[in-house]
Amino acid sequence: MTRVAICGASGYTGIELLRILANHPKVKVSAATSEKSAGRKVTALFPHLDSFDKLVYEPMDREKLLKKADLFFLALPHGASQEAVDFFFRNNKAVIDLSADYRISDRKTYEQWYGLPHTRAAALKAAVYGLPEIYRAKIRKARLIANPGCYPTSAILGLMPALKNRIVEPLSIIIDSKSGTTGAGRKADLSVSFCEVNEGFKAYGIGMHRHTPEIEQELSGLAKKKITVNFTPHLLPVDRGILTTIYAPLRKKVTQEQVLEAYKQAYKSEPFVRVLESGVYPNIKNVRGTNFCHIGVKLVERTNTLIIVSAIDNLVKGASGQAVHNMNLMLGFEETEGLRNLALFP
Amino acid sequence: MTRVAICGASGYTGIELLRILANHPKVKVSAATSEKSAGRKVTALFPHLDSFDKLVYEPMDREKLLKKADLFFLALPHGASQEAVDFFFRNNKAVIDLSADYRISDRKTYEQWYGLPHTRAAALKAAVYGLPEIYRAKIRKARLIANPGCYPTSAILGLMPALKNRIVEPLSIIIDSKSGTTGAGRKADLSVSFCEVNEGFKAYGIGMHRHTPEIEQELSGLAKKKITVNFTPHLLPVDRGILTTIYAPLRKKVTQEQVLEAYKQAYKSEPFVRVLESGVYPNIKNVRGTNFCHIGVKLVERTNTLIIVSAIDNLVKGASGQAVHNMNLMLGFEETEGLRNLALFP
Amino acid sequence: MTRVAICGASGYTGIELLRILANHPKVKVSAATSEKSAGRKVTALFPHLDSFDKLVYEPMDREKLLKKADLFFLALPHGASQEAVDFFFRNNKAVIDLSADYRISDRKTYEQWYGLPHTRAAALKAAVYGLPEIYRAKIRKARLIANPGCYPTSAILGLMPALKNRIVEPLSIIIDSKSGTTGAGRKADLSVSFCEVNEGFKAYGIGMHRHTPEIEQELSGLAKKKITVNFTPHLLPVDRGILTTIYAPLRKKVTQEQVLEAYKQAYKSEPFVRVLESGVYPNIKNVRGTNFCHIGVKLVERTNTLIIVSAIDNLVKGASGQAVHNMNLMLGFEETEGLRNLALFP
Amino acid sequence: MTRVAICGASGYTGIELLRILANHPKVKVSAATSEKSAGRKVTALFPHLDSFDKLVYEPMDREKLLKKADLFFLALPHGASQEAVDFFFRNNKAVIDLSADYRISDRKTYEQWYGLPHTRAAALKAAVYGLPEIYRAKIRKARLIANPGCYPTSAILGLMPALKNRIVEPLSIIIDSKSGTTGAGRKADLSVSFCEVNEGFKAYGIGMHRHTPEIEQELSGLAKKKITVNFTPHLLPVDRGILTTIYAPLRKKVTQEQVLEAYKQAYKSEPFVRVLESGVYPNIKNVRGTNFCHIGVKLVERTNTLIIVSAIDNLVKGASGQAVHNMNLMLGFEETEGLRNLALFP
């Protein structure tokens, strides 16, 4: 059993890691940190984490943690992660960082969007962007994974086959995303209180969301040219799920069947991506609690536009499930280990 | 007191008309029809319609209805409305049709999208599209109003100032709309059952929704050229509300302030449209139960795109409230009569 | 126009008072206080309160407020209200207190359940419990109203006819209540965050809720003997509404028809209470946004038990609507003034 | 691998069996029946059931099914199950019936509450009530299991320790239950449409629900005397979960600590029941998607009442999970096989 530690284990991505790892046959959670809840049993805060009845939150004492685990999941706030990741990385531990700190390979871009200097150049250089559908081979050999953001995962998987096959122009791409409220994190804040969110729906951070440069970096790579996108996030009154609707102008004359075939080909060996038949579109409810990404495509001839819809669970494929997928790849386990449960529907 | 009849008064738009008219000081609901529920008290089906305790559903006997009312709201299914509207119109009654049958002025377009012939050319010609923000003067003199669709209302109000002021190119416009479930109507159908909709979110009818030609007709009028749009509806797990996010390429160099000013100018005298300050975006929860449309705009320089977000209550500004607004205009009442309540928040 | 002030106008009961009073033809809101938001426009915080576009929050400067208003609604936290109520009362203002501070006539009981001394004996003695269905005559003459709690309103209205007509034993009464989340107030607190409340349901404060002595005080009055009850509150994942299910052993042989008749008689002149037919039970959705209380009764012969279900909107009949009803009575207005809108359904 | 068939596999309990069995290492689903959807792939209807991509619905041809499976789950409507269960039972198959047809051992009681004759006396006699916490030994040897109802499971587990230890009087017991909407089944019906259920809450079937005799049968067994109870179901606007609040008069002087200890003792070896510490109460969200039952107890001295709250997922511990638990016992597998996932929280 590989020993893994979760740093920042009382937020939603942290407890989701615990939920997923509870039944993973090859690893054991040997430490879970939380500054606020240090000393308390995990089940005292989260009665649903039944099988962690013996696990007690501890403060993040790095030196102590080094001895306790072989692989570290870091679910810390952006900024705070930079140094912590670097520490475990320098100490030859495998690290999977769920923050944004190591996702943007260009330091200036990071500093511009996050308003923080990036002071760990070596680690940044070693970091592999943990989207297995693109970087599987690199992930297998990596020691430091920058686990992708939730919105970027849904946008990149939605666009990859269209860009790689040069079906669409990498210009004027519109990415209209809608996320469940867990995406805002676990916090005491009026903006996420039940009565403000329930029966409501709104856009936020238009033109300014920090996942924009991450999306652009990866799409530019796929398009083999530098591109910008319009990305608009919205807040859904549901717990989990991201649905992303993408609009891209067609580059050449193609049919719905050809596009669908290109998508099916692109993902035919992927354990967690499903391309739906023509006329069928994804629903976040069908992927809830799972590492799946469902994708539907529609070519609209009238407007010469390809419309792509992708759905993921933001806490699983958009965070903790993808992190476990990356761990499986890094440690040579079967890819789907711990991730085989089906969606909780309804 | 003007006597008004509601034909099709047991669906969601029908009962919303009753809710709104309950406190309207100038009109009296003299008849409410429902084939299925004929003979039953309105309050037996809808205990919330307390002040209609004496009103009993009746079958739609047109001749009888002629004697009972001066103005007719028709909340019948598309297709069924064609003939009924024509009947009351020919008999010199004022008619407000909440179906789509008289919204599309071009018969061929109607027949193509709705799959039905349009057999009432004279009435169709007389019909005025009931969006007061554009057609107020005509509505005042009209005898037949084609009450706008819910999605078109949100899209057209969102784009009007940008198109009229030639701020955006009327090309490649993307209209990404999200609607509450009342938009699907009141029906026994698995697709709208609680457990299928709740905690879910999906797109539907991509590239094929019947509100598309209605949107294109009105936007073409504003742009003074024939245009097509991408319109994608989604189903929100809430009762009421439409949020529409619109993407349009900028036509000329403008600033956020200039755009905002153009929007404020356009709607400064409108009783039901509110343009929000820069950085503030609409939430459907803030217009719930009201005839308001809230609009936010964001100019994104990086991508040379204007992003507009509009919010309405699909049953009020998107249907029954707008119908009452039109009635007020037709009958010379104060515009806001019956429509002054504030949103139910939370 | 009577000038009214709302002290504590940024919480849910405060903004609900604004919503209701917006269309009240006899009063004008001349001041709204909020310590945190002093200096900000009401509509900057609450875009739905459209018609209060000119109203600005001010700090609670009592002397200044004395000159600004004739009647004061106090929506302050328990404890804080004691002194403030007393101040306006001593200065000969009409006062309606939405806190619990003046509801319990017995000081010791108050002090025991609220953990605070009660230092304003004279005002406490003058206070009238503002449940119009019991105390209408007194309310008309009162200068200080203790506006009832939300749970007590639903429980007392549910039991009044049964107790007054001695249909049930005033022993072993079980009051099982379920409330929407606005009942917890507007606050940044993890316990009311969307992701904790949504799709959840729980009981809380079993055997210890502070509304218990208030319920017992009023039921004892109706039963003409001192009684205790089991009262259990639960948290519903909805914004608004309380449904209370009450179980009481029958005292004598009666039929369902007789019980129903007793309930109808008791409430036949009440503008805001509706007794439903046999076999029909209330739904909180049917009273949402209104001052109505719906009541259903079922006599279960097998167990010799009367089961009563009552539904109210906790923010309206359970707080701000009832406060406006009390104001109407105190000021000699028509009882239903400002409260005639129908429920927002769906 | 044991081959199992699911008869009635397109309802919510049927697809929940599929979800759970998908990762069960000892069994293989060899047939899934649905009259309406015969010939269609399971994943065409339910895209979330990803690993059943090869499974096709078939009509319920009993003779054919006999050859295809060794154990049969029947998730058919009440009434329809009587004969089908008997058929597989007579043909020496192991049968787990999720309907109510074999739960009531007394035929007259069944016939009175269900309005149907019971014509299969031999099978009825052989049936074991499948609540492992009471009948584990019998279940291990049984060939026919009457899988308990959802409400009865929550009520009986809540009361068992109190009745067995004679802590409460088995009189005047009140069982106030609240269920998620999946409890109403998967159907096209206005009463379960999103807009009717969402933001609503109501009681239904007061004094008449068919789970009443099932609860009374089992509680009478535990109390060793024939008892009646008041059982009131309510409909929660959530997908899954039952919370049951139980009120029972104390029989003798005991303390909170003694009661808690009795509950802990009673369930100390149970893999799926958790007794919460004093002051902590269950939330349906903490057991969502799992076979757990959480129980909290509160002794209220003021009223001499024991209040018990239990929470289960109605589709898992209240139906399909308990059915798999029963299967594990019948076939000698580890009890928790297939049921070890933790709750999906949030």
In a domain, A213, yes or no: yes
CA–CA min distance C334, chain A (Å): 32
Assess whether D164 and D310 both reside in one domain: yes
C294: closest CA of chain B, how far (Å): 9
- A215-233 per-position pLDDT tens digit: 999 999 999 999 999 999 9
Interface confidence, given as ipTM, is 0.97
Instruction: Name the closest residue on chain D to residue A290, using Cα atoms.
Output: D48
Mean pLDDT score, B232-246: 98
Say yes or no for a CB contact (<8 Å) between B48 and C286.
yes
- Inside any domain, residue A342: no
Evaluate whether residue D327 is within a structural domain: no
Domain's final residue, options B56, B91, B126 = B126
The distance of Cα A98 from the centroid of its chain, to the nearest Å, equals 8
Radius of gyration of chain C (CA): 20
Amino acid at A325: H
User: What is chain A's mean pLDDT, rounded?
Assistant: 97
CB C310 within 8 Å of CB C304:
no
| Residues of chain D in Cβ contact (below 8 Å) with chain B | 12, 181-182, 186-190, 192-199, 237-239
- Span B123-138, mean pLDDT? 98
Which ranges of chain C have pLDDT less than 50?
none
Q: Judge contact between B257 and A188, C-beta under 8 A.
A: no
Residue at A144 is within a domain? no
Find the CATH number of the domain harbouring B43. 3.40.50.720
Q: Nearest CB to B274: which of C50, C289, C343?
A: C50
Q: What is the pLDDT of residue A31?
A: 98
- Say whether both C165 and C113 belong to one domain: no
For residue D231, count other CB atoms closer than 10 A to its CB.
Answer: 28
In the chain, the amino acid numbered D276 is L
Nearest CB to D50 within list A22, A47, A342: A342
Chain C nearest-CA residue for A197? C194
**Helix spans in chain A (H):** 12-21, 42-45, 62-68, 80-90, 107-114, 121-126, 132-141, 150-164, 194-197, 211-223, 256-267, 321-331
Residues B89 and B218 in one domain: no
Q: Which long-range contacts (CB under 8 A, 24 or more apart) does C276-283 make?
A: C276/B47, C280/B47, C281/C309, C281/D202, C281/D203, C281/D204, C281/D206, C282/C243, C282/C309, C282/C310, C282/C311, C282/D202, C283/B47, C283/C243, C283/C311, C283/D200, C283/D201, C283/D202
Domains identified in chain B, total number: 2
Q: Where would I find the H helices in C190-332?
A: 194-197, 211-223, 256-267, 321-331
Give me the mean pLDDT over the B164-191 stretch.
Answer: 96
C120 & C155 share domain:
no
Position D118 scores a pLDDT of: 97
What is the per-residue pLDDT across D52-89, written as a single tens digit (0 to 9) for each? 999 999 999 999 999 999 999 999 999 999 999 999 99
CA-based nearest distance D36→chain A, Å: 20
pLDDT at residue B81, rounded to an integer: 96
Residue that is written with structure tokens 């699907």 in the block:
B184
One domain for residues B28 and B65? yes
Cα–Cα dist D321/D339, whole Å = 7
D236 neighbourhood in chain B, CB within 8 Å: none
- pLDDT, tens only, A72-106: 999 999 999 999 999 999 999 999 999 999 999 99
D341 band by pLDDT with thresholds 50, 70 and 90? very high
Pairing of strands A242-249, A305-312: antiparallel
Residue of C nearest to B312 (CA): C48
Q: What is the rounded average pLDDT for all residues in chain B?
A: 97
Name subunits touching B (3+ CB pairs < 8 A): A, C, D
Same domain, yes or no: D157 and D294: yes
Judge if C74 and C158 occupy the same domain. no
| Mean pLDDT score of chain D | 97
pLDDT tens digits along D159-174: 999 999 999 999 889 9
How many residues are present in chain B? 346
Which member of A186, A188, A239 has the closest CB to residue C199?
A: A239
Q: Residue A192 belongs to a domain with what CATH number? A: 3.30.360.10
CA B39 → CA B19, B36, B151, D198, distances in Å?
Answer: 20, 9, 34, 28
Q: Assess contact for B46 and B17: CB atoms under 8 A.
A: no
Residues D160 and D119 in one domain: no
- Spell out the alpha helix ranges (H) of chain B: 12-21, 42-45, 62-68, 80-90, 107-114, 121-126, 132-141, 150-164, 194-197, 211-223, 256-267, 321-331
Do B194 and B57 have their domain in common? no
- Whether residue C285 and residue D199 make contact (CB cut-off 8 A), yes or no, is yes
Residue D57, in any domain of the structure: yes
Strands lying side by side in the sheet with B71-74: B27-33, B2-7, B71-74, B94-97, B144-146, B128-129
With CA atoms as reference, the chain D residue closest to A49 would be D342
Give the closest-approach CA distance of C209 to chain D in angstroms. 12
pTM for the model? 0.98
- Please report whether residue D182 resides in a domain: yes
Whether residues C109 and C183 share a domain: the answer is: no
| pLDDT tens figures, B13-45 | 999 999 999 999 999 999 999 999 999 999 999
**Of the candidates D168, D175, D166, D309, the residue with the CA atom closest to the CA atom of residue D249:** D168
CB contact under 8 A, A47 and D274: yes
For D175-189, what is each residue's pLDDT tens digit?
A: 999 999 999 999 999
The shortest C-alpha distance from D121 to chain C (Å) reads: 27
Which domain range does residue B244 map to? 151-314
Q: Could you report the per-residue pLDDT of C209-245, keeping only the tens digit for each?
A: 999 999 999 999 999 999 999 999 999 999 999 999 9
Identify the pLDDT of residue C178. Answer: 98
Q: What is the mean pLDDT of residues A175-192?
A: 97
In the residue annotation, C150 being an active-site residue is answered as yes
The position carrying tokens 């700190």 is A101
Q: Report d(CA B320, CA B13) in Å as an integer.
A: 6
Task: Determine whether the interchain pair D172/C176 forms a contact, defined as Cβ–Cβ distance below 8 Å.
Answer: no
Distances (CA, A) of A227 to A210, A220, C343: 16, 5, 50
Question: Which chain C residues contact residue A186 at CB under 8 A?
Answer: 190, 193, 195
Reference A336, options A88, A25, A9; nearest CA is A25
Q: Determine contact, residues A328/A335, Cβ cutoff 8 Å.
A: yes
Q: Which of D23, D51, D342 sits opposite A49 (nearest CB)?
A: D342
- Residue D331 in any domain: the answer is no
User: Under DSSP, is residue C38 helix (H, G, I), strand (E, B) or coil?
Assistant: coil
Best interface-test mutation with B: which of A179, A201, A280 has the largest number of B CBs within 10 A?
Answer: A201
**What pLDDT is stored for residue D86 in this prediction?**
98
Alpha helices in chain C (DSSP H): 12-21, 42-45, 62-68, 80-90, 107-114, 121-126, 132-141, 150-164, 194-197, 211-223, 256-267, 321-331
Is D214 in contact with D103 (CB distance < 8 Å)? yes
Question: What local confidence, expressed as pLDDT, does residue A128 receive?
Answer: 98
Chain C CB contacts of B18 below 8 Å: 342
Residues C295 and C162 occupy one common structural domain? yes
**pLDDT for res C271:** 98
**Is D19 a domain residue?**
yes
Q: Give the pLDDT score at C236.
A: 98
Between helix A150-164 and helix A132-141 the angle, nearest 10°, is 110
Nearest to D304 by CA among D252, D231, D246: D252
Question: Do B85 and B42 share a structural domain?
Answer: yes
Contacts of A288 in chain C (CB under 8 A): none
**Which of C230, C297, C309, C313 is the mutation pick for testing D, counting most D CBs within 10 A?**
C230
Shortest CA gap A276–chain B (Å): 13
Closest CB to C188 among A190, A198, A199: A190
**C-chain residues near B286 (CB < 8 A):** 47-48
Give, as one character, the DSSP assignment of residue D54.
T
